[in-house]
Structure formats: C-alpha cells, structure tokens
Structure 1
C-alpha cells in the first residue's frame, strides 16, 4: 500500500505540473492564432500521420461531431485536408497539409526545448526513470 503522504504530495506535484504546462501551452498556441484542441489535432496527425476521422476522434477523446467542427476550422486555415478512404467509401481520412506539418514541426521543436530545459538538471538515470514513470502513467489512462 503506497504511503498516503507520498500519494498526497504526488497529487499536488502532478496538478501543479499540469497547470504550469497548460499555461505554457496556452501562451505558445495563442501566438499562432490556434486553439489548444486544434494544436492537439495537428500533434496527433504529425506524430501518427494520416488517419480516419473515427480513429482521430477516439485518440482525442471527443465525438466525431466535435472533431468535424475542429477539422472544418483547420481545413479553412489550410492545415489539414480530408480525402476519401481507398477501400471504405464511408470513411474519410484526415492528413496534414504542408502548412499543417510546418506548424506541427515548429510546435514539436518548442516542446523539445521545454523538455530539454526541464530535464537539464537530471542525470541520465533520472531521465530514464522519469520516462518509465510517465509511460506507466500514460498506459493507466
């Protein structure tokens, strides 16, 4: 059984980290004229490449209706495009355009710089431990 005091401290540390990361993310996104959900859509497509609307909605934890509105707005900004699925006429594939890929790559570089800055004082073993912890926590979701 985990120590209640440690779990309590972890809870507060995770919430504080989330709030600081969210604030940083809002500041970065605001400069680009995009919303956080729009940038998260670009991130998912940038990392995982083109995918069906249904799969993208599932990865984002939103409905396909909500995603349709998001994709409409990203399409109007020329960041994504829709195309028919090759073998399933009912399915639509969403992919980044060159403009969308450029925004994703720029945002990804900002994340890399932040990660490097946040972990600069950690030795290699601590970085590896942090990575394992985050991977384990992500799997729990």
Structure 2
C-alpha cells in the first residue's frame, strides 16, 4: 500500500465554487485597476458600471443594483463623489429625493475600465471554447433566474 499518495481533492459544492470564482474575479479586477493607477475597489467599479448601464438612480436603487446595504452604499457614494466620478442631483419629481448620476469624468473612467473588465473575463474563460462560454453564461443566467424567482 502506498502511504505517500495524495488524498483525492473533494469536489467543491456549487455554492463554494461560485464564491471562489467571484473572489478570484474581484481579486483580478482590482489588480487590473491598480495596474492602471486607479484607486478603486471592485464595488466602486460595479456602482459606476450599473450607473453607466441603467442611468441615474436613487441611492436605494443603486444599492439594490449592486447588493449593498444603505450604510455601505452611502460610504461608497461619498468616496466616488469626492473623486469626481458621480454626483447627487435633486430628483425631478420629488424634492426630497436625490438621483445619483455619473459625471463626465465618471463616464470617461467607465470607458477606460472596460478594457480591464474584458481582460479579466477573457483570462477567466481562456480554456473554454466559444460554445462553452455561451453555455456557461446560459447556465449561470438560468440558475440566477431560478434563485430570484421564488414563486
């Protein structure tokens, strides 16, 4: 009997695998941002990206779009506003509410960061064929939809 053999590595659960993949994507994206000299965290990138895709939103809508609680969102918005990437504007119909929107600088930064995102995702999928990439996207989209559809 060979006592020097390496024990088999247990297969990760789906939940753990998804968490590990997300952790590595965040790490790689933050490294890409740092290599461009950008002082941004992944969460801040997501906020800017969501605002770029969805347009001006309330702080609550923005928090929901990136899965942050209100306190954490306020801190992130404060930092991004200080950096000049977004601004809070009065809501058109509700004087009590504010809308969060990208500044010209924020929109330009978002364009610059697109190449970082593309490099990270390309590296992550390098070993997959085009068909496998499409299948992976389809599978993950369906899993997400089922998790969100609680009825």
User: TM-score range, shorter-chain basis?
Assistant: 0.7 to 0.9
Count of residues in correspondence between the two structures? 136
User: Structure 2: which 5+ residue stretches go unaligned?
Assistant: 1-9
Taking the aligned partners of 2:74 and 2:15, their CA distance within structure 1 comes to 35
Taking the aligned partners of 1:19 and 1:29, their CA distance within structure 2 comes to 15
Taking the aligned partners of 1:34 and 1:109, their CA distance within structure 2 comes to 15
CA RMSD, aligned part only? 2.3
Q: Structure 1 residues 138, 106: closer, same or farther in 2, change over 3 A?
A: farther
2:44 equivalent to 1:27: no
Partner of 2:53: 47
TM-score by length of 2: 0.75
Which among 80, 88, 92 is matched to residue 86 of structure 2? Answer: 80
Which among 107, 110, 125 is matched to residue 119 of structure 1? Answer: 125
Higher helix share: 1
Larger radius of gyration: 2
User: Structure 1: which 5+ residue stretches go unaligned?
Assistant: none
Partner of 1:18: 22
Partner of 1:110: 116
Q: Structure 1 residues 65, 15: closer, same or farther in 2, change over 3 A?
A: closer
After TM superposition, give the deviation of residue 81 of structure 1 in Å: 0.9
